[in-house]
Structure 1
Amino acid sequence: MPQDVRFDLPFSTPVCEHLEYARERHLRWVRERGLVRSDAGFAEYTSWDLPEAAARTYPYASAEDMVWLMNWFSLAFLFDDQFDASQPDRAERIAEVARELIVTPLRPAGSPPQVVCPITLAWTEVWTSLSDGMSLTWQTRFAASWGRFLVAHCEEVDLAARGLAGTLGVEEYAALRRRTVGIHHSIDAGERARLFEVPERVMAHPVMERMRDLAADTIGFMNDIQSFERERRRGDGHNLIAVLRRERGCSWEEAAAEAYRMTTACLDEYLALQARIPAVCDELGLDAEERDRARMGVEAIQHWINGNYEWALTSGRYAAAKDGPVATAEQAGRGSVDDLLAV
Structure 2
Amino acid sequence: MPQDVRFDLPFRTPVSQHLEYAREQHLRWVRDMGLVRSQAGYEEYQSWDLPQAAIRTYPHASADDMVVLMNWFSLAFLFDDQFDSGSPDGADRIAEVARELIVTPLRPTGTRPRVICPITVAWAEVWEQLADGMSLTWRTRFAASWGRFLAAHSEEVDLAARGTVLGLDDYTAFRRRTVGIHHSIDAGERSRRFEVPAQAQAHPVMIGLRDAAADTIGFMNDIHSFEREKRRGDGHNLITVLHRERGYSWEEATDEAFLMTSERLRDYLRLESEVPQLCDELGLSADDRDRVRMGVEAVQHWINGNYEWALTTGRYAAAKEGPAATAELQGRGSLDDLLPV
| TM-score of the aligned structures, taking structure 2 as reference length | 0.97
Partner of 1:310: 308
Percentage identity across aligned positions? 76
- Aligned-partner SS, 1:186: helix
Partner of 2:82: 82
Equivalence map 1:152-191=2 (5 Å): 152-164=152-164, 167-191=165-189
Gaps of 5+ in 2: none
Equivalence map 1:128-277=2 (5 Å): 128-164=128-164, 167-277=165-275
Call closer, same or farther: CA 1:17–1:209 in 2, change over 3 Å. same
Check conservation: 2:48, 2:313, Cα contact below 8 A: yes
Gaps of 5+ in 1: none
Check conservation: 1:224, 1:241, Cα contact below 8 A: yes
Please give the per-residue CA displacement for 1:136-171, whole angstroms capped at 9, x wherever unaligned.
Answer: 00000000000000000000000111111xx20001
Partner of 1:43: 43
Please give the per-residue CA displacement for 1:89-129, whole angstroms capped at 9, x wherever unaligned.
Answer: 12111111101100000011111111111100000000001
In 2: Cα distance, 1:97 partner to 1:9 partner:
37
Call closer, same or farther: CA 1:3–1:54 in 2, change over 3 Å. same
Check conservation: 2:188, 2:298, Cα contact below 8 A: yes
In 2: Cα distance, 1:41 partner to 1:331 partner:
15
AA paired with 1:53? A
Check conservation: 1:241, 1:252, Cα contact below 8 A: yes
Check conservation: 2:85, 2:331, Cα contact below 8 A: no
AA paired with 1:110? G
Displacement of 1:334 after TM fit?
5.0
In 2: Cα distance, 1:335 partner to 1:295 partner:
38
AA paired with 2:92? E
Check conservation: 1:97, 1:120, Cα contact below 8 A: yes
In 1: Cα distance, 2:333 partner to 2:18 partner:
24
Check conservation: 2:232, 2:328, Cα contact below 8 A: no
Q: 2:335 aligns with which of 325, 334, 337?
A: 337
Displacement of 1:318 after TM fit?
1.0
Call closer, same or farther: CA 1:86–1:171 in 2, change over 3 Å. closer
Q: How many pairs align?
A: 340
AA paired with 1:114? R
Displacement of 1:321 after TM fit?
2.6
